[in-house]
Amino acid sequence: MKKIIKNDFLFLIFIFFGFILIRSLHFPYFLNWSQDQAECGMAALDIWRNKKLTLIGPQISATFEGRLLFQGPITYYLFLIFLLFARWNPVSASYLFMIFAGFLIFPLFYSIKRITNKKTAFFIVLIYSFFPYYINYTRFLWNSTLQLTFSILFLYFFSLYQKNKNIKTFFLSSFFLGILLQFHYQFFLVIFAFFIYFLVKKISFKKWLVFIFGICLGFSPIIIFELKHQFYNTKTAILFLKNWPKVDKPGNLTMPHYYLTLSFLLLIFIGYKFKNVVNKIKWQFIIVFGIILTSFAFFKNIKKPNQSFWAPAKDWNYPMEEKAYQIIKRGPIKNNFNVADLSYYNTKAAVIKYFLKRDNFNIDFEDYYKNRFLYVISKNKDYQKTLSYEVAFFKPRKLLKKWHLKDNYYLYLFERL
């Protein structure tokens, strides 16, 4: 064991395989590929097929009087890369992302080791690899999970700058700050903290220029969008701030993913501040800590879950989406139909529509008034009392067929009379 500890790379190999193994357990059943992921997947499909770049990405969840605030397009392009390599299969693409997140333990370790010490680096790598919060959010593609992983690349270049004071690594770290801001605007807090840090450090005017230019370059798609569209995002952000109590804020800023990257960077900051204390801890304690954390993570994930992580409904998971789609795909109805999913808060069945778009079904995805046929995913007969317009206005109708998906969930096929 002492030989393994002395050999950083060998110890990291052990952690890497543990990282992959635990996340691989029942992977499709834990997988979160729901509305947000499906919509990003469809946007990536459109970019690939139309060969037309976009300057904006997904909208943030908050809205006010129909105004939307858009994030950067980096999320769509990364979805495109992972999905393309996975041949547009959500499970394979998410698994590739998970492997990518696993490989990042190597730059993470060497980054933290440069700015603190070896023991602190191992503590942070173990927490990133086996703490449930980070396990859950490194199993699936999303802007928040992408921001978490790409923050490690920022740390890598920033740690190099801290070591060699090279202007190129300083620029690259600034560039990644701009990219990270594209994923979520909460990252303004981190950039502001670095402004304060560099003010205290009294960096040169040249470095200030490099710092600002790097951020602007990383954030350039949104900047270009703003210049082309009369500063739409900026005006929307000001409108939100002026009317903050009236802004529709799903989750009311209490959702765990809002603090994913911030908590991770805070963890690293704490490790930096207490690096001397950590360095006095015996290696035996670090080994026991790693064994306990890994064992807890293993036993927490060994049981097959009843529902996906962040599932919109109880007992709902990705394999049920796949099963419903395969029934639709193999069925006799090839056009003039649409799909509604009453297990979601948004009933427009984004996941099924991702599959349909991927497989080139030629239907009007937004039409729920003229379509002759309608597939409905619902708990047993819940469709009869729904107020969702996709189903409620599909009348008069007759039930053609029903398929059992799982437990009380069924797929229904209706025809408009």
pLDDT at 55: 96
3-class SS of residue 350 = helix
Task: Reply yes or no: is the peptide bond before residue 312 cis, omega within 30 of 0.
Answer: no
Residue 5 has pLDDT above 80, yes or no: no
| Residue percentage of the chain with pLDDT more than 90 | 80
Which pLDDT score, from 0 to 100, does residue 328 have? 96
Rounded CA separation 257/264 (Å): 11
Q: Is the pLDDT of residue 20 over 80?
A: yes
Residue 361, judged by CB atoms within 10 A of its CB (0-12, 13-18, 19+), counts as middle
359 has pLDDT over 90 = yes
With a CB cutoff of 8 Å and minimum separation 6, the contacts of 219 are 72, 178, 179, 181, 182
Which pLDDT does position 3 carry in this prediction?
54
Q: Is 405 helix (H, G, I), strand (E, B) or coil?
A: strand
The confidence score (pLDDT) of residue 262 equals 94
* Residue 27: predicted pLDDT: 97
104/402 Cα distance (integer angstroms): 46
- Pair of tokens at residue 317: 């998971």
For the segment 236-292, what is each residue's pLDDT rounded down to a tens digit?
989 988 888 788 777 666 788 889 999 999 999 999 999 999 999 998 999 999 999
Residue 236 confidence (pLDDT): 92
> Which pLDDT score, from 0 to 100, does residue 196 have?
95
According to the model, what pLDDT value does residue 244 have?
A: 81
Q: Round to whole Å and give the CA distance between 299 and 393.
A: 47
Query: pLDDT tens-digit profile of 140-198?
Result: 999 999 999 999 999 999 999 999 999 999 999 999 999 999 999 889 999 999 999 99
Window from 60-64, 230-234, 387-391 with minimum mean pLDDT: 60-64
User: 16: pLDDT confidence band, cut at 50, 70 and 90?
Assistant: very high
Residue ranges in 302-349 assigned as alpha helix (H): 318-330
User: For position 256, what pLDDT does the model report?
Assistant: 85
**pLDDT at residue 14, rounded to an integer:** 93
Task: Give per-residue pLDDT as tens, 65-81.
Answer: 888 899 999 999 999 99
**Residue 344: predicted pLDDT:** 82
Q: Which of 269, 157, 150 is nearest to 214 (CA)?
A: 157
- For 57, the 3-state DSSP assignment is coil
Over residues 10-19, the mean pLDDT reads: 94
Question: How far is the C-alpha of 240 from the C-alpha of 242, rounded, in Å?
Answer: 6
| Mean predicted lDDT score pLDDT of the chain | 93
Determine the angle formed by the axes of helices 105-115 and 118-130, rounding to 10 degrees: 150
Going edge to edge, which strands form the sheet with 337-341?
337-341, 373-379, 409-416, 397-406
State how far the Cα of 128 lies from the Cα of 98, in Å rounded to an integer.
13
Q: Do 112 and 119 contact (CB within 8 A), yes or no?
A: no
Q: What is the per-residue pLDDT for 343?
A: 86
| C-alpha to C-alpha distance for 76 and 142, rounded to whole angstroms | 10
Residue in 105, 83, 97 with CA at minimum distance from that of residue 17: 105
6, pLDDT greater than 80: no
In this predicted model, what pLDDT tens digit does every residue of 287-332 receive, in sequence order? 999 999 999 999 999 999 989 998 877 889 999 999 999 999 998 8
Beta strand spans in 146-197 (E): none
Q: What is the CA angle 117-149-212, rounded to 5?
A: 85
Q: Which residues pair with 399 in a beta bridge?
A: 414
Give the global pTM: 0.94
C-beta separation of 131 from 293 below 8 A: yes
Cβ count within 10 A of residue 292 = 12
Would you tell me how many other CB atoms lie within 10 Å of the CB of residue 191?
16
Tokens of 411: 């797929």
Rounded Cα gap, residues 153 and 157, in angstroms = 7
pLDDT in tens, 325-351: 999 999 889 999 999 999 887 789 999
pLDDT in the model for residue 257:
87
Residue 233 has pLDDT above 60, yes or no: yes
What is the average pLDDT across 41-57? 96
User: Residue 397 belongs to what H/E stretch?
Assistant: strand 397-406
Higher pLDDT, residue 82 or 253: 82
Residue 252: the pLDDT is 60
- Dihedral of CA atoms 99, 105, 108, 114 in degrees, nearest 10, equals -150
What's the pLDDT at 199? 93
CA gap 197, 203 in Å, rounded: 9
Give CA torsion, residues 262, 57, 368, 330, to 10 deg.
Answer: -90
